Amino acid sequence: MIETKILVTGGAGFIGSHLVDKLMEEGHDIRVLDDLSAGTLDNLKHWANHERFEFIRGDMRNPEVVAEAVKGVETVFHLAANPEVRIGSQSPELLYKTNILITYNLLNAMRGSNVRYLIFTSSSTVYGEAKIIPTPEDYGPLEPISVYGGAKLAAEALISGYAHTFGFKALIFRLANIVGKRSNHGVIYDFINKLRQRPDELEILGDGTQKKSYLHVSDTISGMLTLFEYFKNTNKTVDFYNLGNDDWITVREIAEIVTEEMGLNPELRFTGGVDGGRGWKGDVKFMRLNIEKAKKTGWRPKLSSYGAVRKSVRGLLLTM
C-alpha cells in the first residue's frame, strides 16, 4: 500500500483526476492542489464531501501555497503542469512558470517536510528526435526539440538533484501520448471538435504520416501505481520509466477512427505542416518508447495504441 497522506498536484486535470479516483478507491487520504487552469472540479465532484478527500485551490507559482499543501504529506504525485506541447512556440515564459518554477517551489517546500517519495509525470518529448526507436530510458544525449520538452527535462534534472541532496526518493515517468475520457486537448479532442463544427471536412496538421505511441489513461494509472510499489522496494534514489505502448499509430489512422466512430465521411485536408510534415514547430514526428523495463516489473498495457485511441474516441463522444 502507498503511504498516506498523499498530495496530488494537478489532481483536477485529465490524468490527475483518474489517479485520484484510483487512490481514493484504494482507501488513501488524498489532498489535491490545483489552480483549475487546465482541470475542472467536475472531474472530482464525486469525492467532494468524502472524509478522506481534501481540495486546495491554489497556484503553485506561490511558494506559500505549496508549503501549506505538503504539510503532513508523505507521498507527492506531481502532475501539475501546462499540458500543451504547442504553447512552447508561443509563450516559453508561461511554460517555464507552469512546469519548471512550480517544480522548484515544490522541491523547496519538500526540504522542510516529511515527504519521502515524489512521483513526477515527465514526457517522451525529453528524448527529442531519438535515433533509436523504440527509445529506452538510457538513451542520450537528450535533446528536446520543443520548449515543452526542454521544460520537462529541466524539471527532471531539478528533481534528481534535490532527491540526491535532500534525502527523498523520486520516481520519474516519461509518458507517451495519454488518451481517454476527461482529456481536453490533443489530436483526438481536436478532431472531434473540428468535425462537430464542419462534418464534411477535417483539417489535419502536418502530412498525416506522423506516427506515435498512445496509452490509455487506465493503463497509465495502473503503470504508475504498479511501478511505484516496485520502486519503493529498490535501493535507488531516483529512477526513470517509460510508459507507453509496444505499437504506434499514424495521425491519418487516428482521423479514420474518429470519423468512423462519428459516422462521418469527410474530406481529409492535410496542411502539409512544417519541417518535413510535422504538425507544428517542435512536433516530434516519430515516437515510440521502449517499455521493456516497465514490463519486467509485471506491468503491461491492456490496450494497444489502436485500442486506446478507439476507446478514447468513444468516451469523449459521450462526454464532450
pLDDT the model gives residue 88: 55
- Phi first, then psi: what are they for 161, rounded to 5°? -60, -45
Per-residue pLDDT, 320:
81
80 within 8 A of 37, measured Cβ to Cβ: no
Count CB-CB contacts under 10 A for residue 58: 17
Q: Give the closest residue to 299 by CA, choosing from 236, 232, 230.
A: 230
Full set of structural domains in the chain with CATH: 6-178+215-243 (3.40.50.720), 180-213+246-319 (3.90.25.10)
The closest alpha carbon to 250, from 279, 222, 226, 230, belongs to 279
Find out whether 209 and 250 touch, Cβ atoms under 8 Å: yes
| Range 99-125 burial, b when 16+ CB lie within 10 A, else e | bbbbbbbbbbbbeebebebbbbbbbbb
For helices 147-166 and 102-111, the axis angle rounded to 10 degrees is 10
Of 163, 99, 151, nearest to 125 by C-alpha is 151
127 burial level (CB within 10 Å; 0-12, 13-18, 19+): buried
Scanning the structure block, which residue is given the C-alpha cell 507552469? Answer: 98
* CA 314 – CA 320 distance, rounded (Å): 10
What's the half-sphere exposure (Cβ side, CA atoms, 13 Å) at 25?
10
* Amino acid 274: pLDDT: 86
* pLDDT tens-place values along the chain, 320 residues long: 444 699 999 999 999 999 999 999 999 999 999 999 999 999 999 999 999 999 999 999 999 999 999 999 999 999 999 876 666 556 888 889 999 999 999 999 999 899 999 999 999 999 999 999 999 999 999 999 999 999 999 999 999 999 999 999 999 999 999 999 999 889 999 999 999 999 999 999 999 999 999 999 999 999 999 999 999 999 999 999 999 999 999 999 999 999 999 999 999 999 988 888 888 888 899 999 999 999 999 999 999 999 999 999 999 999 88
What is the spatial distance between Cα 42 and Cα 54, in angstroms, rounded to a whole number? Answer: 15
Residues near 158 by beta carbon (within 8 Å), at least 6 away in sequence: 100, 103, 104, 107
Contact 56, 35 (CB under 8 A): no
Of the candidates 104, 139, 148, 214, the residue annotated as catalytic is: 148
Helix (H), strand (E), coil (C) string for 89-149 = HCCHHHHHHHHHHHHHHHHHHHHCCCCCEEEEEEEHHHHECCCCCCECCCCCCCECCCHHH
How many CB atoms sit inside 10 A of residue 40's CB? 15
Question: What's the CA gap between 183 and 313, in Å, rounded?
Answer: 10
- Position 3 scores a pLDDT of 44
CB atoms near residue 281 (< 10 Å): 14
Q: Give catalytic status of residue 127 as yes or no.
A: no
224 grid coordinates: 504508475
User: What pLDDT, on a 0 to 100 scale, did the predictor assign at position 23?
Assistant: 97
**Angle at the Cα of 89 from the Cα atoms of 249 and 253, rounded to 5 degrees:** 15
To the nearest 10 degrees (0 to 180), the angle between helices 305-319 and 187-197 is: 50
- Separation CA 129–CA 287 (nearest Å): 8
